[in-house]
Homo-oligomer: A and B are copies of this chain.
Amino acid sequence: MKRAVVLLSGGLDSTTAAAVAKKDGYKIFALTIDYGQRHRIEINAAKQIAKALNAEQHIIFPINLRIFGGSSLTGDLEVAKDIPVEQIGNVIPTSYVPARNIIFLSTALAYAETVNAEKIYIGVSAIDYSGYPDCRPEFINAFENMANIATKFGTEGKKISIAAPLAKLDKTETIKLGLSLGVDYSLTHTCYDPTINGAACGRCESCLLRLQAFANAGINDPVKYDKKIR
C-alpha cells in the first residue's frame, strides 16, 4: 500500500486533507508539530482524528517556535479579534508564524524519507485564508522543487510530491468535501484563543472564517463556542 505523510494540526483543513489522502488510497503517517502554539488543545484534537482515520502511525513532533516568538500564536502579540470577515486575508496578520509551513513541510519531508512515503499532504488553501504567504500554491510548488533536489529520495529518481488538495477550495467547499468523505468535524479544533474548557472564542480570524463557512454551507458547526457571534 502506498504511503503518505499527512501534516495533521487537528484543525478543519488538515483533517479534510487527511481524509482526501485516505480516499486516494494511502496508508497514513500522521505528523503533528507541537510548536508551542497558544491553542495547545488542537494537539489533543489531532490525536483523536489520527485514531478516527486509522493512521498507521502518529508522531507528535516538538519544535518550540516560542524560542523565536514573533507571532500572536507563539509570542506575546495579541490574537486579533472581531476583524470584519471580508478584511481577513488583506494583510498578513499577527498570527503569522515566521516560516511555519516551511518548517512543517521540512519536518514532514524528513519523516517521509525515513518511512519511504511518496507524498506529503498539507491542508493549505489560498482561498478563505488568513493571508499567510506560506499557504499559496507558488510556495507549495517551490517547496516540492527544492525537496526533490535536496533529498536522497529525490536524487535516487523517486519523486516526492506535495499534495495540497484544498489549494483551490474555499472553506465552504472544504467542509462539503470533508462531509462527503465522512469527516467528523466535531473532533476538529480551529480557534486560536480557546477558553480554559476548550470552547472556541468565536471571535479570532480563524473562528470567524470557520463560522462563515459553516453558515454558507448551511450546516451547524458541531464544535462548542464560548459566545456565538452569528
Instruction: Write the residues of chain A forming the contact surface with B, with a CB cutoff of 8 angstroms.
Output: 59, 61-65, 67-70, 92, 96-103, 106-107, 109-111, 113-114, 133-134, 136, 138-139, 142-143, 145-147, 149-155
| B98 close to A151 (CB less than 8 A) | yes
Please give, as numbers and ranges, the residues of chain B lying within 8 Å of A96 by CB-CB distance. Answer: 152
Contact of A92 among B62, B103, B139, B155 (CB under 8 A): B155
19 extra interface residue pairs, beta carbon distance < 8 Å, beyond A99-B110, A136-B150? A59-B67, A61-B64, A68-B111, A70-B110, A98-B109, A98-B153, A99-B109, A99-B113, A99-B150, A101-B150, A102-B146, A102-B150, A103-B110, A133-B149, A134-B150, A134-B151, A142-B142, A143-B150, A145-B146
> Which residues of chain B have C-beta atoms less than 8 A from A143's C-beta?
146, 150
User: How many copies of this chain does the complex contain?
Assistant: 2
Residues of B within 8 A of A109 (CB): 98-99, 102
Complex Cα spacing A147 to B150, Å:
15
Given A61-B67, A68-B114, A142-B146, CB of A99 within 8 Å of CB of B106: yes
B154 with A114: CB separation less than 8 A: no
Chain B residues within an 8 Å CB radius of A92: 152, 155
Q: Complex: how many Å from CA A134 to CA B113? A: 13
Question: Which residue of the partner chain, among B68, B106, B114, contacts A102 with CB atoms under 8 Å?
Answer: B106
Whether A136 and B149, one on each chain, are in contact in the complex, defined by CB atoms closer than 8 angstroms, is yes
Query: Which chain B residue has the least Cβ–Cβ distance from A71?
Result: B114
- Tell me if B98 and A113 are in contact (CB < 8 A): yes
> Distance (Å) between the CB of A124 and the closest chain B CB?
11
How far is the CB of A145 from the nearest CB of chain B, in Å?
A: 6
